[in-house]
Amino acid sequence: MGKIKKIIIFVLVFVMMSGNITAYGGEMQLNAISACLIDATNGRVLYEKNGYEKRAVASTTKIMTCILAIENADLERKVIFSKYAAGMPDVQMNAREGEEYILRDLLYAMMLESYNDVAVAVAESVSGNVKDFALLMNQKAKELGCDDTYFITPNGLDAVDENGVANTSTAVDMARIAAYAIKNEEFVRISTTKCYSFCELNGKRNVTVNNKDAFLNQMEGAIGVKTGFTGKAGYCFVGALKKDGKVLVSVVLASGWPPNKTYKWKDTAALMNYGLRNFQNKIVYDGYEECGKIKVVDGVKPSVDTYAKGHVELQVGNEEKVTVYYNMLKELKAPVKSGQTVGQIEIFIDDTLYETIPIKTKASVKKTDFYYYFTKVWSRYCGQNKKNP
């Protein structure tokens, strides 16, 4: 296959002079013990403070519960409250065993008012029981690259499993989960609703829920997402913002304890403003490019053309350096297939690999064989005879 050659093609250095905080890994005065800010379009961490530290995340857990219900259940199905669900501690809707609701309505109650009994009823509706739903939660977390997350409860109440492992996540993992969730229109519609009313199916009660997410009214472009609090977790909040062509997700965990209920809003605003000031959208690679020829050994053609096609747009911060490398094989051994990957374009931000774009062959090249050589010799022989009749 030949050795890989690495060629530095060009280096892009973007410097934005706005803001006084250094771009990546800079310090901010936050109350939260753990915090992070990510570019929701690609999951890149723009800022983190103890962002990979495992902590209790309280009711921000319900982000996962909500998106799983949307993806795995008919939202018009009937949900009957079990004795176990009805027995959950505050905050609760105070539903009684046997009460019946539409699943969609319960998602509004869970996300807007953060009812713990509703979260359990939702989990039981989707998976039959809480334990199986937790398996689904953890499977999804793994799919999203959240390797430091372990869910036990669908409502985020502090819990420890039979092996002594606690219900925990990290600021970065919760940001990844939220970034995934806000790509779903149904999820965004629920999480951004200010007020919602519904009825128990047998007419036993009418319910009105109001959104406890004050961030929705504090910044233009805010799209949620979820508050949380337990005595162990402290005040937590996962926020999302769409503004100036950016989609940002912030997470603050343990942002104070009573009576400092408003610290989470200040921390969230600081993170979001940091992202808006210190990062700009840059298109690093866009379109179609011919990447040259590769020698073909034992092929009916001596070489094959290559190409790359892709689009990479990212948030680039103060003094961050974007470097683009082309890595391509020196030669190929026939046969060669059209569309065969023969290298990649590597995009680095400073020293960290950000994304790759495959370099592929434009055509097929067959391997030489007896028929090929016979045909070639015969053509030459016939050509000579024509010249010398």
pLDDT tens profile 249-270: 999 999 999 999 999 999 999 9
In a shared domain, residues 111 and 142 = yes
pLDDT of residue 374: 60
Measured distance CA(343)–CA(244) in Å, rounded: 35
Measured distance CA(133)–CA(146) in Å, rounded: 17
Which of 206, 226, 259 is a domain's end point? Answer: 259
In a shared domain, residues 48 and 18 = no
| Sequence-distant (≥ 6) Cβ neighbours of residue 297 within 8 angstroms | 331, 332, 333, 334
- List of long-range contacts for 265-269, beta carbons under 8 Å, 24+ apart: 265/214, 265/215, 265/218, 265/237, 266/31, 267/30, 267/31, 267/32, 267/35, 267/237, 268/215, 268/237, 268/239, 269/215, 269/218, 269/219
Which of 259, 289, 320 is a domain's end point? Answer: 259
pLDDT of residue 4: 42
* Dihedral (CA of 163, 152, 150, 227) sign: negative
pLDDT of residue 27: 64
* Dihedral (CA of 249, 31, 59, 158) sign: positive
The amino acid occupying position 204 is: K
Are 80 and 100 in contact by the 8 Å Cβ rule? The answer is: yes
pLDDT of residue 16: 32
CB atoms within 10 A of CB 328: 19
pLDDT of residue 343: 94
In a shared domain, residues 249 and 206 = yes
Task: Provide the domain limits for residue 193.
Answer: 34-259
In a shared domain, residues 250 and 348 = no
Tell me if 29 is assigned to some domain. no
pLDDT of residue 218: 95
In a shared domain, residues 6 and 95 = no
Q: Cis link prior to 259 (omega < 30° from 0)?
A: yes
CB atoms within 10 A of CB 15: 11
In a shared domain, residues 240 and 306 = no
pLDDT of residue 363: 93
Are 212 and 114 in contact by the 8 Å Cβ rule? The answer is: yes
pLDDT of residue 56: 96
How many domains in the chain?
Answer: 2
Are 175 and 144 in contact by the 8 Å Cβ rule? The answer is: no
Return left, alpha or beta for 142; rule: phi > 0 is left, psi -120 to 50 is alpha, else beta: alpha
Q: Which CATH number belongs to the domain containing residue 93 in this structure? A: 3.40.710.10
- Residue 378, classed as helix, strand or coil, is helix
CB atoms within 10 A of CB 145: 14
Tell me if 360 is assigned to some domain. yes
Measured distance CA(207)–CA(90) in Å, rounded: 17
Closest CA to 97 of 83, 113, 112, 107: 83
pLDDT of residue 1: 40
Question: Rounded to two decimals, what is the model's pTM?
Answer: 0.82
In a shared domain, residues 154 and 296 = no
In a shared domain, residues 75 and 216 = yes
The DSSP result for 300-368, as a single string, is: SSSEEEEEEEEEEEEEEETTEEEEEEEEEESEEESPB-TT-EEEEEEEEETTEEEEEEEEEESS-BPBP
Measured distance CA(163)–CA(345) in Å, rounded: 45
Tell me if 307 is assigned to some domain. yes
Closest CA to 369 of 285, 320, 299: 299
pLDDT of residue 12: 39
Q: Which portions of the chain are predicted below pLDDT 70?
A: 1-27, 370-389
The two structure tokens encoding residue 269 = 């605003």
Which of 203, 228, 259 is a domain's end point? Answer: 259
Instruction: Report CA 327 to chain centroid distance, whole Å.
Output: 27
In a shared domain, residues 173 and 317 = no
- Looking up tokens 């391997």 gives 367
